[in-house]
Amino acid sequence: MDVTVTNPKQNAVHYPPDRRFIVWIRRNFLIALAMLIVLPVVAAWAQYLIAGLPAVPQSYPTAADLTAPAGFPGWLRLAHFVNFLFIVLLARSGLSILMDHPRLYWNSDCTPGTEWMRFTPVEAPMDHIWTAKDDARYISPWLGLPGFRHTIGTARHWHLLSALFWLLNGLVFVLLLLSTDYWMRLVPNSWRIIPEAWALFVHYATFHMPFEPDPYYAYNAMQQLAYFTVVFVMAPLSMLTGLAMSPAIANRFRWYPKLFGGRQAARSIHFLLLLGYTGFFVVHVTLVVMTGFARNMNYIVLGNDDGSLTGLLIGLAGIGFVVAACFVAYWFSWRHPRSLQYLVRRIHSVMRFLFFRHIVPRAQYSEADISPYFWPNGKPPTTDEWQALAANDFRDFRLKVFGLVDNPLELSLEEMKALGPQSQITMHHCIQGWSGVAQWGGLSLAKLIELAQPRPEAKVCVFYSFGEGLYGGDYYDTQSLENAMHPQSLLAYEMNDAPLPPVYGAPLRLRVENQLGYKMVKWIKSIEFVTSEKSVGKGHGGKNEDDEYFDLFPEI
Ligand SMILES: Nc1nc2c(c(=O)[nH]1)N[C@H]1C(S)=C(S)[C@@H](COP(=O)(O)O)O[C@H]1N2
Ligand SMILES: [Mo]
């Protein structure tokens, strides 16, 4: 497959010479993970060799003496298929997202070297600037959606779109399950299920097939426990850990990511759940094939109990449909990324209206939470203008505030400091997946806006940078006036109680804590007030929105 982008700079980013793929796991964690699998198997063998095979049920309820309804109604079969479609899209786009910051941590600082798992052969060099963008890795489009390197804008659209439909499908499924008696098939009604599942596990682990119930009428204990866990434990946990990665939620409800051990622990759990689904899928499909493939496929595809091959053939066609959907998604990602961006933007604007605009960031961390390492991102400016200003510690810098304002401004750093400092310790969330806590000191944006007196038609502030975007051209981004007025919206000239260092955005950088990092323009040169983001750049709201199809309002 070929990258179908015509811009050679973009091609160079998406298809780098170094495409090595490795999986590295910290030894202790690997041992723990192996133990999780090995120990139960060893215990099963020990029991089998010492005490023989434990007793398992030799008969199951059939049609006559059932309490739960038999069979698989249409809604259940459809939900099963829709779930399969979206979980495939979720897994594949998730892998593309993961490769944009190919490291997993249990701490929220993301210091290179502290990860428990990584998908890159590169140890982040410490002797020169190594940005999070440099660190992103290539993934084959056979695995990732849309694949290649640094395609996170599009990958996120697929992920969030699929998550929404997956959630809706799951809700409908669970509601129908609970409003009929079918829930009894999945929800265990006695703790006896645990020893019974263990007895079955001893059979499987020692290569003995236990007596099988006919799944049209009943599941065995292990099967029921596995289905119950996937539907009622893993799926909700995937959604909840997904939400724990949202900057808007984490910086408003600080307790929330803590439920999962912090922002990065939530991300790690989110990934471990993917491994869990994959493991479930492999065992599930193997057993479906081993225990009467054609009959089982008739059950779940057609809902009937005959011995024909019809269910199997239609089921294979269904799998073909999902594979085709992956190809269509790939094609759409590269041919119509803008349409995809705007489709998701429309959905987001509804979610914003209902939900996100009400959650104003206000989290504060303590000094002790400040990250010892903070990933840098973006290209530092190289222009003579910025270098001359930097050489003189930005004493000659004047922030220009212009556009639809009654009081255009030109402010030096000293003048801004004289307007009164504001300080906050907050968590930064980069779209790529890393986070970090830092103290930021600067001028409240609300104060500056009041001073500039925007006219009523001014709805959007544009922040122009001295620096360039990833593919060339000046970096800029926009904020709605409403978001810019939040108490934690800040023009920072200080980081961790020292003047803002050049790599982190000197002389000025933006902090808007309910959004992702790319909205926080560094090396700010000027601020313009306009009626709409459509009049700036390519008109999509920012450099990354223009060139990389990022969201305009990234609150998740
Ligand atoms: N001018 C400019 N500002 C920028 C960027 C950039 O490329 N150019 N990158 C953004 C991104 S993606 C992030 S995550 C943050 C990173 O800030 P940090 O270097 O302080 O971590 O800066 C944002 N601001
Ligand atoms: Mo970022």
Task: With beta carbons less than 8 A apart as the criterion, state whether 519 and 484 touch.
Answer: no
Does 306 or 156 have the greater pLDDT score? 156
If you measure from the C-alpha of residue 556 to the centroid of ligand 2, how many angstroms do you get, rounded to a whole number? Answer: 13
Query: What confidence tier does 172 reach under pLDDT thresholds 50, 70, 90?
Result: very high
Residues with CB under 6 A from ligand 1: 374-379, 430, 465, 467, 475, 504, 517-518, 520-523
Q: Which fold has domain 367-547?
A: Sulfite Oxidase; Chain A, domain 2 (3.90.420)
Portion of the chain with pLDDT greater than 70, in percent: 99
Q: Tell whether the model's pLDDT for residue 403 goes beyond 60.
A: yes
List residues, by chain if needed, whose CB lies under 5 Å from ion ligand 2: 377, 430-431, 517-518
Q: What is the mean pLDDT of residues 391-413?
A: 98
Cα angle value 208/212/215 (rounded, 5°): 145
Atom index in ligand 1 nearest the CA of residue 469 equals: 7
The pLDDT value recorded for residue 2 is 54
Which residue's CA is minimally distant from atom 5 of ligand 1?
A: 378
Portion of the chain with pLDDT greater than 90, in percent: 93
Instruction: Please state, in angstroms and rounded to a whole number, the distance separating the CA atoms of residues 52 and 169.
Output: 44
Q: What is the mean pLDDT of residues 83-109?
A: 98
Q: What is the mean pLDDT of residues 545-554?
A: 95
If you measure from the C-alpha of residue 90 to the centroid of ligand 1, how many angstroms do you get, rounded to a whole number? Answer: 27
What are the CA-CA distances from residue 490 to residues 107, 400, 510 (Å)?
26, 16, 6
Q: Tell whether the model's pLDDT for residue 364 goes beyond 70.
A: yes
The pLDDT value recorded for residue 165 is 97
The pLDDT value recorded for residue 126 is 86
Instruction: Please state, in angstroms and rounded to a whole number, the distance separating the CA atoms of residues 101 and 130.
Output: 13
The pLDDT value recorded for residue 53 is 97
Q: What is the mean pLDDT of residues 113-140?
A: 95
Give the residue carrying structure tokens 């349409």.
339
Atom index in ligand 1 nearest the CA of residue 475 equals: 1
Q: Which of 444, 265, 443, 255 is nearest to 365 (CA)?
A: 255
Instruction: Please state, in angstroms and rounded to a whole number, the distance separating the CA atoms of residues 354 and 542.
Output: 24
Query: CB neighbours of 21 closer than 8 A, spacing ≥ 6?
Result: 119, 137, 138, 139, 140
The pLDDT value recorded for residue 228 is 98
Question: What are the structural domain ranges in the chain?
Answer: 19-121+137-356, 367-547
Q: Tell whether the model's pLDDT for residue 3 goes beyond 90.
A: no
If you measure from the C-alpha of residue 187 to the centroid of ligand 1, how many angstroms do you get, rounded to a whole number? Answer: 48
Ramachandran angles phi, psi of 146, nearest 5°: -90, 10
pLDDT tens string 458-482: 999 999 999 999 999 999 999 999 9
If you measure from the C-alpha of residue 503 to the centroid of ligand 2, how many angstroms do you get, rounded to a whole number? Answer: 14
pLDDT tens string 178-205: 999 999 999 999 999 999 999 999 999 9
Instruction: Please state, in angstroms and rounded to a whole number, the distance separating the CA atoms of residues 529 and 535.
Output: 11
Q: What is the mean pLDDT of residues 275-280?
A: 97
CA 85 to chain centroid:
18
Q: Tell whether the model's pLDDT for residue 20 goes beyond 90.
A: yes
Q: Tell whether the model's pLDDT for residue 1 goes beyond 60.
A: no
Give the residue carrying structure tokens 């929404």.
164
Atom index in ligand 1 nearest the CA of residue 436 equals: 21
* Substitution candidate for ligand 1 out of 496, 518, 524, 526 with most atoms within 8 A of CB: 518
Amino acid at residue number 248 = A
If you measure from the C-alpha of residue 250 to the centroid of ligand 1, how many angstroms do you get, rounded to a whole number? Answer: 19
pLDDT tens string 238-275: 999 999 999 999 999 999 999 999 999 999 999 999 99
Instruction: Please state, in angstroms and rounded to a whole number, the distance separating the CA atoms of residues 511 and 167.
Output: 32
* Substitution candidate for ligand 1 out of 377, 430, 470 with most atoms within 8 A of CB: 377
Instruction: Please state, in angstroms and rounded to a whole number, the distance separating the CA atoms of residues 431 and 438.
Output: 17
If you measure from the C-alpha of residue 349 to the centroid of ligand 2, how many angstroms do you get, rounded to a whole number? Answer: 21
Instruction: Please state, in angstroms and rounded to a whole number, the distance separating the CA atoms of residues 290 and 293.
Output: 6
Which residue's CA is minimally distant from atom 18 of ligand 1?
A: 376
Query: CB neighbours of 130 closer than 8 A, spacing ≥ 6?
Result: 112, 124, 376
Which residue's CA is minimally distant from atom 1 of ligand 1?
A: 522
The pLDDT value recorded for residue 61 is 81
Ligand nearest to the CA of 375: 1
| 202 membership: H or E segment, kind and range | helix 193-205
Query: What confidence tier does 4 reach under pLDDT thresholds 50, 70, 90?
Result: low
Q: Which of 375, 341, 333 is nearest to 111 (CA)?
A: 375
Which residue's CA is minimally distant from atom 9 of ligand 1?
A: 378
The pLDDT value recorded for residue 202 is 98
Instruction: Please state, in angstroms and rounded to a whole number, the distance separating the CA atoms of residues 400 and 170.
Output: 51
Task: With beta carbons less than 8 A apart as the criterion, state whether 86 and 169 touch.
Answer: yes
Atom index in ligand 1 nearest the CA of residue 376 equals: 19
Instruction: Please state, in angstroms and rounded to a whole number, the distance separating the CA atoms of residues 460 and 445.
Output: 13
